[in-house]
Amino acid sequence: MKKSFEKSENFYQESLFTFSSYKSYCAIDTINIEIGEVKKIFKVNSLTSEPIKFAFQPKDGLVRVSLKNGSVEESNILSSLLSIKDNNIENYRKFFEKNGFFYPLKGDKYVEIDDNSLLLIVGRMKATVELMSQISEVQRKNYDRILTLTLALLLKPQIEIKIGDHVYKTSKHEKLSNELLIASNIADNSFNFKTDENYVFTIKDSIYGYSKMHLDVYRNLKTDELILDNFWRKVLHSYVNHEDSDKDVRLMIEVLYHVYFNIGNFSSCSFEKINFSENPKWDNFDEPLKHALLEVAKIVVAEEINSSLTGIFPEYDSSIMEPRWRVDSLISALYFSIFYMKPNIELTRICANPRCGNYFTISRTSSKKKYCSPQCANRAIQNRYRANKKSAEK
């Protein structure tokens, strides 16, 4: 049931920002690249004869507002987008037709974006929101997920996606990239390291106080490209030779070092899993490292959000004599919605029903709520009952 408001002053005065756009027409072309490889291309055009308006309400998030009567046509647009499953391309098409595209489009020609680029944009939003909530969980912190999401966001290279006249850029995570550049210009002073009688030297470490490394091991790691690629050699070089770097940056380097060298080296990391090259030593994922990881995860979330807060401008509204925000695109409004999340008060969770996957908001103190609705909770109970019954019959 739609929530009704007086269209004018009360509703918009309570909104933290408003945003106007147009519905869009969205077609999907399927391109068969080769046998077994298919690419989906979204072709989008703005319907300038069908304007739409959004507002951000503290309780309902980003909402789409009816221009006819001021009612809320749909609440929490961000959750609606994040709840679409990656393989449900048709629902992405429906979302853009109702809410317009990420950027305002001009002209009569289609703007194209392939499905992989679209999923990359939405995937980073999903990862950022999930990481925010995982960090703020009171009793159910999933450190494996926090580690996976943090590494995936931090280590993925910056990508630019051209969408019509606009360019979407993923976060560069400049604190880390700048540190690796600075550290690469610091000379390797291993010939002057103070070692003990076993040629072991000590490194200052804010997580553990200090760590030790054998001089020959360090030199082999630095010189043998078959052992370490260029990125991890830079991390190692920074860890050993730049102990007095910025506090946040140093913690990033220390966490990366301990994860890679103490838990296990990995070839890649997606938002779903870390692809370790060998069985990880999870016993080394101890409380001090988990605590440090939480701090790094917070830095990563802040960088993800701050780098995406483009197209947002403060202005003074003379009609209501109050300051307001002007937002120029749907993608800016979505990230502004993430910016206004309060994970210390409310958490955004993914429904535990594997057939659902909806994102829903709960109080931070509601640690036991795993499902978005009673229906999903009942389905999960029924599924467990059937599974147990089948197991008993075998």
Beta strands in 126-285 (DSSP E): 160-163, 166-169, 200-205, 209-214, 266-269, 274-276
Give the model's pLDDT for residue 135: 93
Pair 384, 334 in one domain: no
Most confident of 225-234, 243-252, 333-342, 355-364: 243-252
Pair 91, 190 in one domain: no
Domain total of the chain: 3
- Residues facing 51 on adjacent strands: 22
315: containing domain:
9-101+309-345
Confidence of residue 351 (pLDDT cuts 50, 70, 90): confident
For residues 128 and 301, give the distance between their C-alpha atoms in angstroms, rounded to a whole number.
Answer: 6
The two structure tokens encoding residue 103: 């950027």
pLDDT tens, residue by residue, 118-175: 999 999 999 999 999 999 887 778 999 999 999 999 999 899 999 888 899 999 999 9
Q: What are the backbone angles phi and psi of residue 36, rounded to the nearest 5°?
A: 85, -5
Higher pLDDT, residue 309 or 372: 309
Query: Per mean pLDDT, which range of 31-40, 79-88, 379-388 is the poorest?
Result: 379-388
Give the model's pLDDT for residue 227: 84
For residues 341 and 132, give the distance between their C-alpha atoms in angstroms, rounded to a whole number.
Answer: 9
Task: Using alpha carbons, list the distances in angstroms from residue 115 to 89, 93, 142.
Answer: 8, 11, 30
Give the model's pLDDT for residue 182: 92
Confidence of residue 276 (pLDDT cuts 50, 70, 90): very high
Q: Is the pLDDT of residue 311 over 60?
A: yes
pLDDT tens, residue by residue, 312-344: 988 887 877 878 888 999 999 999 999 988 876
Q: Is the pLDDT of residue 247 over 70?
A: yes
Pair 266, 385 in one domain: no
pLDDT tens, residue by residue, 94-124: 999 999 999 988 877 889 999 999 999 999 9
Average pLDDT of the residues of the chain: 88
For residues 364 and 353, give the distance between their C-alpha atoms in angstroms, rounded to a whole number.
Answer: 20
For residues 210 and 188, give the distance between their C-alpha atoms in angstroms, rounded to a whole number.
Answer: 19
Pair 293, 330 in one domain: no
Taking the CB of residue 250, how many other CB atoms lie within 10 A of it? 20
Give the model's pLDDT for residue 6: 43
Confidence of residue 4 (pLDDT cuts 50, 70, 90): very low
Query: What pTM does this model have?
Result: 0.87
Pair 360, 292 in one domain: no
Among 304, 299, 292, 216, CA closest to 257: 292
Pair 294, 386 in one domain: no
List the Cα angle 141/147/152 in 5-degree steps. 135
Cα pseudo-dihedral 301, 302, 304, 309, rounded to 10? 140
For residues 44 and 258, give the distance between their C-alpha atoms in angstroms, rounded to a whole number.
Answer: 45
For residues 166 and 330, give the distance between their C-alpha atoms in angstroms, rounded to a whole number.
Answer: 13
**Residue at 58 is within a domain:** yes
Pair 181, 287 in one domain: yes
**Residue at 109 is within a domain:** no
Among 117, 58, 115, 121, CA closest to 90: 115
